[in-house]
Amino acid sequence: MSELRRSEFAVTDATTIRELLDSVRFGSLAYLRVDGTPGVSVLNFVRIEDLIYFHGSPHGERAASLRVNPSVAFLAADPLALIPSHFLHPELACPATQFFRSVVIRGEVRIVRDRAEKAIALAAFMQKLQPEGGYAPVRDDDLYRKSLEATEVFALPVGVATAKFKLGQNLPAHKRREVADRIAERGSSVDLATVKAMRELGLLGD
């Protein structure tokens, strides 16, 4: 059975899914090109309530494709700690893996025509990418009017979202604790973030 179908890795809590979407810096958008062949694009995105926004040139392949077929799949993934095989078995290579958290959203994108909504989305982008400020606030005004008209903004409902968090749920509790202790001893920022994610999901019994 494919690992993607293993129910122990599934996460359905809407708040947890939103929190992951807010913490991931970029995602991948899968779509059909105008000629019917598959396309994928890595992009910055931002969540506002139950919508994902992304933007780009109105003249590119992605924008042209989405005007013809707005059906997409969007992936946001957070790669976490690498787990070497010897953490789980003294000889076998098979247990080597990587922990991660991911969300997939399927749906239809909407082209944002309203300049005020565009301004709200792009202001949220700036807050995410440059929270320290240092720029004039993005508004539907004379300063940004030309940029708003030249930028294509798309909105994707978060509604149909599935999440997969691979954090050792398939391991016995004592082995999962042992793995967490070993990656904590390794001590990189990714390792510590992994232990935190395992704890937040209630996998470490504390």
pLDDT tens sequence across 114-173: 999 999 999 999 999 999 999 999 999 999 999 898 999 999 999 888 999 999 999 999
Residue 162 CA: distances (Å) to CA of 68, 73, 96, 121, 130? 25, 11, 25, 23, 29
Query: Which is it for the CA torsion 17, 19, 24, 28, positive or negative?
Result: positive
pLDDT of residue 10: 85
Q: To which CATH superfamily is domain 3-170 assigned?
A: Electron Transport, Fmn-binding Protein; Chain A (2.30.110.10)
Domain ranges across the chain = 3-170
Contact (CB, 8 A) for 53 and 155:
yes
pLDDT of residue 4: 45
Spatial distance between the Cα atoms of 20 and 197, rounded to a whole number of angstroms = 10
Query: Which is it for the CA torsion 119, 125, 128, 133, positive or negative?
Result: negative
Regions of the chain with pLDDT less than 70? 1-6, 206
Element (H, E) at 104: strand 97-108
What is the token pair recorded at 104? Answer: 């997939």
pLDDT of residue 6: 66
| DSSP-derived secondary structure letter, 97 | E
pLDDT of residue 3: 40
Q: Give pTM, 2 decimals.
A: 0.87
Contact (CB, 8 A) for 89 and 68:
no
Spatial distance between the Cα atoms of 107 and 194, rounded to a whole number of angstroms = 30
Q: Over the chain, what is the mean pLDDT?
A: 92
pLDDT of residue 1: 28
Spatial distance between the Cα atoms of 165 and 201, rounded to a whole number of angstroms = 9
